Amino acid sequence: MADLFGKWVPDEWIEQVFETCKKASQHTYMFLTKNPYRYIQLALRGRLPNRENFWYGTTITENGRLPFNALEYKRNFISLEPLRGPVSEKFPFSNIGWVIIGQQTGPGAVPPKDEWVQSIIDQCKAAGVPVFVKRPLYERFPIQKWPEGLR
């Protein structure tokens, strides 16, 4: 695995991926990175496509900062996986198009506290943001909603 938006990846490579995706516009593309500030850098240079079938996401494991308020892209998402801590009641969920919640898996995995998960679900519901809870958390929180146009 690798992060397409890592600092070490040349812009030209990313642009080639975007161009290839544009040629198959019948598909929906979900880009996920741990370096979301690269989205802003590309957008400021006019190199981040704002297309209906391009979704931009970032992985956050607990209270993190989101750059999405700097973008005018509503097709964005966060993946709170593995959820390792509580998320602030002041987290800007209203700027997010979709939230995915997952837990650490494998030997020695530590599941998140139920109150952390429930708080995120409640905040998203209040903000009108769909939430998708992955297994095995789904067993306790059976919510798997998709954003409009992404199914």
pLDDT at 27: 95
pLDDT at 113: 96
Question: pLDDT higher for 134 or 67?
Answer: 134
Which tokens is 45 given? Answer: 């240079």
DSSP annotation of 48 reads S
Tell me the per-residue pLDDT of 55-83, one tens digit each, with 9 for 90 and over: 999 998 766 666 666 566 778 999 999 99
Question: What's the pLDDT band for 32 if we cut at 50, 70, 90?
Answer: very high
Whole-model pTM: value is: 0.91
